[in-house]
Amino acid sequence: MHKVIVSSYFSAGHFLSDEPIHGHNYGIRVILKSELENGMVEDFRIIQRHLDDFCKTLDHYLLIPGQNKEVKIDNVNKQLHVKAWERTYVLPASDVVILPVENTTAELLAKYAHAKLKEKMRKVVSVQIDESPNCTGEYSE
Ligand SMILES: [Zn+2]
């Protein structure tokens, strides 16, 4: 079996139970695995396009964990009132992406990205998300 790895990046804000709102320049790598067809696992240009399209859905947004029981979200005239643990944020809905995750950790962002990229490319086996140059979360099948 062969693997190919394609990288991209996005910048986004998030918060966790014990961290205030802050941002990261996330790195992301998608790994595809298969036998070769015409000497390739997949055309790099196709992988890059799908990965970049995915990154655009998160780039320059605040990421909210929509499945966290401690995070309550009310949409009032396109303003999100987000109660998260002891904090309350009022944010324009257009600046936020509510993700189907319990927390916006690198590990769970990698699992989310894996599911979204797998919809586009069946050969996807793994996604890695760098929260910083030294810290990476990975989800793989
Ligand atoms: Zn963080």
Q: For the beta carbon of residue 135, count every other beta carbon within 10 angstroms.
A: 10
What pLDDT score was predicted for residue 135? Answer: 98
What pLDDT score was predicted for residue 111? Answer: 98
What pLDDT score was predicted for residue 86? Answer: 87
Q: Give the C-alpha separation, 139 to 126, whole Å.
A: 6
- Cα(125) to ligand 1 centroid in Å equals 25
The verdict on residue 42 lying in a domain is yes
What pLDDT score was predicted for residue 104? Answer: 97
- Cα(21) to ligand 1 centroid in Å equals 8
The DSSP code for 68 is -
Q: What is the dihedral of CA 114, 119, 122, 128, to 10 degrees?
A: -10
Residue type, 1: M
- Cα(22) to ligand 1 centroid in Å equals 6
CATH number at residue 129: 3.30.479.10
The verdict on residue 79 lying in a domain is no
What pLDDT score was predicted for residue 133? Answer: 94
What pLDDT score was predicted for residue 68? Answer: 96
Domain range holding 13? 2-61+102-140
- Cα(132) to ligand 1 centroid in Å equals 9
- Cα(36) to ligand 1 centroid in Å equals 38
The verdict on residue 48 lying in a domain is yes
What pLDDT score was predicted for residue 74? Answer: 96
* Residue 137: half-sphere exposure toward Cβ, Cα within 13 Å: 15
The verdict on residue 87 lying in a domain is no
What pLDDT score was predicted for residue 17? Answer: 87
3-state DSSP assignment of residue 36: coil
Residue 75: both structure tokens together:
């949409």
Q: For the beta carbon of residue 141, count every other beta carbon within 10 angstroms.
A: 8
3-state DSSP assignment of residue 89: strand
Per-residue pLDDT of the chain (141 residues; tens, 9 = 90+): 999 999 999 999 999 888 899 999 999 999 999 999 999 999 999 999 999 999 999 999 999 999 999 999 999 999 999 999 989 999 999 999 999 999 999 999 999 999 999 999 999 999 999 999 999 999 999
The verdict on residue 71 lying in a domain is no
| Total H helices, total E strands in the chain | 2, 9
Across the chain, which distance is largest between two alpha carbons, in Å? 56
- Cα(107) to ligand 1 centroid in Å equals 12
